[in-house]
Structure 1
Amino acid sequence: MNRQPVLTGALILAAIGGLAYPAHGQLDQPTQLAVEISGLNQPQGQVCLNLFDSGAGFPSNRDQALQTQCLETTADVSLVATFEDLAPGSYAVSVFHDANSDSEFNRNFVGMPTEGFGFSRNPEALTGPPEFGEAVVLVAGAETRIEIELSYF
């Protein structure tokens, strides 16, 4: 009888179990979420991010966001924002390119965005912003890294 497949299967299950159920001490350690912003169409203004831990206020109500931050844009540096001291869990990020630095997400007279925008998990947003569940990412371990690509109309 060949025990190789049984042993391999047992090792795989043990590894998966270890990922699904981390050691108790790891569950309460703070983590960070690093967000790389790509697709910036012009190096002016700032890029503003909102971090949410629930659907309340997502994606644009900054008063209900868990954390917010804005980064000045530059021509030769990629933009990376970091949200620190997070409890492991589910989060969603919304981003907009505030090209004119007025701290507002500008729209034209029919409500179409005139500035770039994006969301964690990069869902399509053709007829409106995504729901929280479409943008949610699991944050765990020392650091979770995601990339958000900005969209422009």
Structure 2
Amino acid sequence: MKHLILTVALLITSIFSFAQETQTITVTIDNVTSDKGKVGIALHSKDTFMKAKPIAEMESSIKDGKVTVTFKNVAPGEYAILALHDANENGRMDFKENGMPLESFGASNNVMNFGPPQYEDAKFMVTNKDISLNIRF
């Protein structure tokens, strides 16, 4: 009897965990300065933003100054997105001698401050609907 109850409880738990809804986040950047190179787009949590490997990342070629990528199966929660136009395709952001970036970048919510993007400015919520974001460089 104990095994039957335990089996039923595990079955119900697994059904509910698989039933958790996930959403998509579609990101469009339509002001890339050239079609040269690639654009990298990274999905971050507060814990990974500007500190660690992103939750998910995508890379796209550029056509007519535009890029669109879609992150699928995103669980509800709070996130931020960082994007970089890696014009020379060396896999990193390049800087001038004075520390200013040589390549275009942007973040969700399009807040541009002096200095690096801040999570609190870039964060957004994923709830029960798919999201479309436009990021400006």
TM-score by length of 1: 0.72
Are residue 69 (structure 1) and residue 62 (structure 2) matched? no
Could you report, residue by residue, the CA deviation over 1:112-146 in whole angstroms, capped at 9, with x for unpaired residues? 000000000001222x1122111001112341111
Secondary structure of the corresponding residue to residue 35 of structure 2 = coil
Specify the alignment match of 1:144 in structure 2.
Answer: 131
Unaligned 5+ runs, structure 2: 1-18
Specify the alignment match of 1:15 in structure 2.
Answer: none
Specify the alignment match of 2:77 in structure 1.
Answer: 89
Specify the alignment match of 2:105 in structure 1.
Answer: 117
Specify the alignment match of 1:129 in structure 2.
Answer: 116
User: In structure 1, what is the Cα distance between the partners aligned to 2:80 and 2:127?
Assistant: 14
TM-score by length of 2: 0.80
- How many residue pairs get aligned? The number is 119
User: In structure 2, what is the Cα distance between the partners aligned to 1:48 and 1:102?
Assistant: 11
- Kindly, what percent of the aligned residue pairs are identical? 26
Runs (4+) off by over 4 Å: none
User: In structure 2, what is the Cα distance between the partners aligned to 1:109 and 1:70?
Assistant: 27
Across the aligned residues of Structure 1 and Structure 2, the Cα RMSD in angstroms comes to 1.7
